[in-house]
Structure 1
Amino acid sequence: MMISDDIEQEAARWFAAQRRGPMTLDERQAFDAWRADPLHQAALNRMHEVWGEVSAVGEMGVALRRRKARPHRAAIAAVLVLGLAVSLGGGVWWKFDQQSTQTGIGEQSSQELADGSIVALNVVTRARYDINARERVVHLREGEAAFVVRKDPERPFLVRTGGYEVRAVGTAFNVRNRDQSLDVAVKEGVVEVRRLSGDEKPMLLRAGQRLYVKDAGASARTAYKVSAISTNAVDEWRQRVLTYEDAPINQVVQDVNRFYERPLTIDPALGRRHVTLRLVIDDRADTVKRLAALLGAEVHNMGREDALKP
């Protein structure tokens, strides 16, 4: 896939706009129209991936240490990312050979593993890696990660989390392990999911399929659900977009709290309500206001946190 310099420059400008803060309605419509082109979305993904790499290197002493840049530094960050991409021929990857990594509140990160596979970590995620001559294993201790696996038939790529193992050879998929539940969605190719204990038959998931296990940590066999999912929605969180279908508001609030330092609480009666929505995580105040409007609730400043109440 060839991405021209002009497209990369456009992607850098949109990347800076995302980091700057909430867009106007006109900007959001123009942005959605622009990234509908797969080539444009690929260029934007590259900006996010490179930014994650710059942030990771920053932890070793480089100035760009955190994604939560101040608004006036956002454009500079995008220009730096673009400069790196152009100067290295559009292929900027930092080899990642550490044994473990983690992200905090509001932080997302992308790494290229020693085998060439790409791992993108969502907020509040911990992972440990074991890449050897026989297999490639990622232990996802908690959180969510998207994987683009480099094909190697001699070394299976395994993600172990919540008592389950996801096996792939060359594919792209997403794994989420939060609140005792497991969610696996496939963007490209095929993956095999099996329990690490018991003698249950493995399940095959193909592109556009999603597996949800409500109580993944249970010792006995638990019910699971396989459903269809748009491949564009599999790892949409990488653009800081959260999508829900018939989900309790409590879950939405828990996810939102992983993006912002200031906590948000919700009245129990409201929290039990179910919603279907697509939530753009940008400015915290606007995000909270959108949730309040959706629920017909009021936002109360409780000192160290905000509360949604009827």
Structure 2
Amino acid sequence: MDKPTNPNSQAADSRDEQLAGVARSWVIRLVTGRITKIELSQFKLWVAQSPAHQQAFDRERAFWHQLEGLKDLVPYSDLSDPLDNDRTSGRTWMRSRWNIVVGSSIAAGLACLVFYQDIRLFLLADHRTATGQQEIVTLPDGGIAHLNTDTAIAVSYAEGERRIELLKGEALFEVVPNKQVPFRVVSAGGYSQAVGTAFVVRTQDEQTRVSVTEGVVSVSSLDARGRPSDASLAVAKGQQTEYRRGARPENVTVVDSRVITAWTRGVIQFKEQPFATAIAELNRYRPGRIIVLGDLGGTKPVSGRFTLQGIDDAVTALANTQGLRVVRLTDYLVFIF
């Protein structure tokens, strides 16, 4: 039986939320520099009205102090009493924090975009995985689709065709041989066709990468009606190709199949990868955002093998190779600088 709700407790929670909202608005105005001398005086009066006001402001201000590693960029001495600083030093304090505000706003905007995309995928996908999740799907003909993190597919098996649409993410397909019924994976304006083989398809930002681990795969673009074009590119075992929407695949490169499929074994591998590329790859396996502050022009390529269960440790390890620090503001927001 549920316990009865305490109206006094609810009222107290409501007051605390309202107070936190007011305190947060003052922090934001101080951070952005959008505050006049009159408003600054009003702020001082508000803080002095009661210990509860001061405590609420301190809690909201502590949000910024959680970025302890950013001391060189955001000195805590500024945070200790920004009201005692002159207007010029106040502007410096405000500007230094504006980058963080912008970063947080971008993260919030991305969250809204992801929410919209998730609704679309929910309607179209037959199978999907969450961030950090892998799943093995048995297809209608007995073939296997290994879905990597944050992946969605739509399955359409009809007479004369086995068709998979990769809506998002990455998947390894183990194809059952059947020369009479081709197996096709459609993604970002192109398609990959196989008879009996194994290959990985990954789509991201309107670009698709096809990597073959067994047999040969024919890769082609689609015309305006969604039909395969006449020109196709043969990709053999240990090779891969890439194409963008509206363009046909042209080049074939050699790849290490074990690195490409490492995620199916619960690990992720890097071989002389640019630091930013490696961090972006790790970010695929954890919720939230990893934001790198500053110029990465001087960073060195990275190599390593990490478990998918230890992504946060991998982020720290790679940052250490560059002499960079990692600050986890929350489980969903990580800064590297």
Alignment TM-score > 0.5, same fold? yes
Structure 2 partner of 1:207? 237
Structure 1 partner of 2:216? 190
1:308 and 2:317 equivalent?
Answer: no
Displacement of 1:243 in angstroms is: 3.5
Partner AA of 2:314 in structure 1: T
Structure 2 partner of 1:255? 281
Partner AA of 2:317 in structure 1: R
8 A contact 1:248–1:272 mirrored in 2: no
Displacement of 1:182 in angstroms is: 1.4
Hey, what's the Cα distance between the residues in 2 that align with 1:222 and 1:115? 29
8 A contact 1:126–1:141 mirrored in 2: yes
Hey, what's the Cα distance between the residues in 2 that align with 1:106 and 1:295? 25
Structure 1 partner of 2:24? none
1:180 and 2:210 equivalent?
Answer: no
8 A contact 1:249–1:271 mirrored in 2: no
- Gaps of at least 5 residues in structure 1 are 1-97
Partner AA of 1:137 in structure 2: R
Hey, what's the Cα distance between the residues in 2 that align with 1:284 and 1:271? 24
Displacement of 1:283 in angstroms is: 1.9
Deviations 1:113-156 (A, max 9, x none): 11011000000011100012211000001110001000011100
Larger-gyration structure (1/2): 2
Structure 2 partner of 1:290? 317
1:148 and 2:174 equivalent?
Answer: yes
Hey, what's the Cα distance between the residues in 2 that align with 1:103 and 1:272? 36
Q: 1:263 to 1:237 in 2, by over 3 A?
A: same
Hey, what's the Cα distance between the residues in 2 that align with 1:172 and 1:274? 33
Hey, what's the Cα distance between the residues in 1 that align with 2:137 and 2:310? 26
Hey, what's the Cα distance between the residues in 1 that align with 2:201 and 2:161? 19
- Gaps of at least 5 residues in structure 2 are 1-123
8 A contact 2:209–2:240 mirrored in 1: yes
8 A contact 2:274–2:302 mirrored in 1: no
8 A contact 1:156–1:168 mirrored in 2: yes
* Percentage identity across paired residues of the two chains: 26
Structure 2 partner of 1:103? 129
Partner AA of 1:113 in structure 2: L
Hey, what's the Cα distance between the residues in 1 that align with 2:207 and 2:300? 17
Displacement of 1:204 in angstroms is: 0.2
**TM-score of the two chains, using structure 1 as the length reference:** 0.61
Displacement of 1:253 in angstroms is: 2.4
Q: 1:285 to 1:141 in 2, by over 3 A?
A: closer
8 A contact 2:233–2:249 mirrored in 1: no
Cα RMSD (Å) of the superposition?
Answer: 2.4
8 A contact 2:197–2:216 mirrored in 1: yes
Deviates more, 1:179-188 or 1:122-131: 179-188
Structure 2 partner of 1:15? none
Displacement of 1:261 in angstroms is: 2.5
Deviations 1:221-254 (A, max 9, x none): 3675321122323311112333345544333223
Q: 1:223 to 1:154 in 2, by over 3 A?
A: closer
> Across the two proteins, how many residue pairs are aligned to each other?
208
| SS at structure 1 position matched to 2:309 | coil
Q: 1:130 to 1:283 in 2, by over 3 A?
A: same
8 A contact 1:186–1:234 mirrored in 2: no
1:133 equivalent among 147, 155, 159: 159
8 A contact 2:164–2:186 mirrored in 1: yes
Hey, what's the Cα distance between the residues in 1 that align with 2:216 and 2:261? 16
Q: 1:188 to 1:243 in 2, by over 3 A?
A: same
